[in-house]
Amino acid sequence: MKFMSDDPLQIAPDVMESLEKKGVSRRDFMKWCTGMAAMLALPSSFIPKIAEAVLAQKPYLVWLEYQDCAGDSEALLRATAPTVGQIVLDILSVEYHETIMAPSGHMAEKSLMDVVENQKGKYFVVVEGSIPMKDNGVYCCIGGRSALDLAREVCGNAAATIAVGTCATHGGIPAAHPNPTGAVGVKEAVPNATVINIPGCPMNVENLTATIVHYLTLGRLPQTDNLGRPLFAFGKRIHDNCERRGHFDAGQFVREWGDAGHRQGWCLYEMGCKGPATFHNCPTVKYNGGTSWPVQAGHGCFGCSEPHFWDTMGPVYKRLPNVPGFGVEKTADKIGAGLAAATAAGLVLHGIGRAISPKKKDEE
Ligand code: SF4
Ligand code: F3S
């Protein structure tokens, strides 16, 4: 793909024609590239580089699905134009995806093995769902082979594996107590593979797209936290960017579903929101093409992108007495309060005090 030399953003006419045939205007495409650069915190000089990278390459990708609900495939298929469906999937050669591929049976398995053998070290793998380790992995088999055996071969020979959804990253709901199948995430099942984790229940397809774009543009996976999650998407807590944060700081909490505070968009902490303990970019990127996210819709975050959230973040509608990270928040707010006027500081501390030990209704 070539750009006109006098304008780095001007896409060659033949490439533009092919994009337009897919319903993507030049404006849409450049808007998308600009959005990707912003999401990855890359300077604007990278916008033409992103455009060039995604149009110039057609890497192979295989999508493996193990113990899951197919929610991540749904997230992918519900991607709004012109994101994954029209750009990334068009620039990737998706050779294997059990749910949406045309071949079946032996022909499907052959498509997978052709990639592993002929594109060794060059292809991407996306894994959705957990891998059962108990009893030699017998609880999840495809084409007569266990998920564990397949993942070892397919992920072990890939350029990179992107584990999507909390099941593939940390075992998710199949790994919830008592975890009868010994379910684990991909990195635990295949420790020698190069794996990046994009948790969420389901994952946010924008984060998958941005990870692939980062790799295509810079030739490497994005920087990650100690749980293998890209920092551009999981570097901040939900609570840091939440639109209800002002109400938390002011001590304005919803106490009952549908009460006056709920109708006015107050903080959901006392209704069980785990946003202070959850790292994810939901408030800024949102779901369904930026339409909404759980807290905007009026429900607390239940920490779906944290490892073992089903066992550790529940009960969903109860405020945890000692939310991990809450002490950090308290310190941060105290610092913020110190910089503010005395009245404002009082409100901040009031908010924290209420979050720690809410008053009973009859005390109000
Ligand atoms: Fe938002 Fe939840 Fe934090 Fe309240 S507790 S500000 S609803 S993330
Ligand atoms: Fe999950 Fe919480 Fe986001 S429940 S989708 S991490 S708001």
Which region among 15-19, 293-297, 298-302, 360-364 has the lowest average model confidence (pLDDT)?
A: 360-364
What is the total count of domains within the chain? 3
Do 122 and 192 lie in one domain? The reply is yes
Which region among 63-67, 86-90, 144-148, 334-338 has the lowest average model confidence (pLDDT)?
A: 334-338
Integer Cα distance of 297 and 70 in angstroms: 23
Model pLDDT for residues 178-223, shown as the tens digit of each residue? 999 999 999 999 999 999 999 999 999 889 989 999 999 999 999 9
The domain that holds 136 is classified in CATH as 3.40.50.700
- With a cut of 50, say whether residue 3 has pLDDT above it: no
Pocket of ligand 1, beta carbon within 6 A = 238-239, 242, 244-245, 248, 267-269, 273, 275-276, 295, 300-301
Do 193 and 267 lie in one domain? The reply is no
Burial of 350 (0-12, 13-18, 19+ CB in 10 A): middle
Model pLDDT for residues 262-319, shown as the tens digit of each residue? 999 999 999 999 999 999 999 999 998 889 999 999 999 999 999 999 999 888 998 8
Of 144, 139, 150, 63, nearest to 98 (Cα)?
Answer: 63
Average pLDDT of span 310-330: 68
Output the six-digit token pair for 25. Answer: 């205007």
Output the six-digit token pair for 314. Answer: 């529940």
Do 227 and 80 lie in one domain? The reply is yes
Of 58, 3, 57, nearest to 26 (Cα)?
Answer: 3
Do 135 and 197 lie in one domain? The reply is yes
Do 302 and 323 lie in one domain? The reply is yes
- With a cut of 50, say whether residue 252 has pLDDT above it: yes
Output the six-digit token pair for 203. Answer: 């994952």
SS3 102: coil
Integer Cα distance of 34 and 92 in angstroms: 20
Dump the DSSP string for 254-272: --STTSHHHHTT-B-GGGT
Q: For residue 84, what pLDDT is reported?
A: 46
C-alpha dihedral over 41, 43, 49, 54, to 10 degrees?
Answer: 20
- Among candidate residues 38, 56, 74, the one where a domain is terminated: 56
Integer Cα distance of 311 and 252 in angstroms: 28
DSSP state of 88: I
Do 151 and 165 lie in one domain? The reply is yes
Phi-psi region of 16 (alpha: psi -120 to 50; beta: other; left: phi over 0): alpha
Residue 278 CA: nearest ligand 2 atom is 6
Do 261 and 176 lie in one domain? The reply is no
Closest ligand to residue 234's CA: 2
Q: Which residue has the higher pLDDT, 32 or 7?
A: 32
Which residue puts its alpha carbon closest to atom 7 of ligand 2? 301
Residue 338 Cα to ligand 1 midpoint, Å, equals 21
Do 265 and 189 lie in one domain? The reply is no
Closest ligand to residue 241's CA: 1
Output the six-digit token pair for 283. Answer: 């408030």
Tokens 């999840």, residue? 140
Residues contacting residue 56 through CB under 8 Å, at least 6 positions apart? 1
pTM of the entire predicted model: 0.84
- With a cut of 60, say whether residue 325 has pLDDT above it: no
Task: Give the HSE-up count for residue 244: Cα atoms under 13 Å, Cβ half-sphere.
Answer: 30
Residue 295 CA: nearest ligand 2 atom is 7
Q: Rounded to the nearest 5°, which phi and psi values hold at 290?
A: 80, 15
Phi-psi region of 24 (alpha: psi -120 to 50; beta: other; left: phi over 0): beta
Which region among 81-95, 185-199, 234-248, 324-338 has the lowest average model confidence (pLDDT)?
A: 324-338
Do 285 and 137 lie in one domain? The reply is no
- Among candidate residues 234, 265, 286, the one where a domain is terminated: 234
Closest ligand to residue 275's CA: 1
Residue 273 Cα to ligand 1 midpoint, Å, equals 6
**By residue range, what is the domain housing residue 249?**
236-364
Computed over every residue of the chain, the mean pLDDT equals 83
Residues contacting residue 82 through CB under 8 Å, at least 6 positions apart? 22, 23, 24, 28, 29, 32
Do 195 and 330 lie in one domain? The reply is no
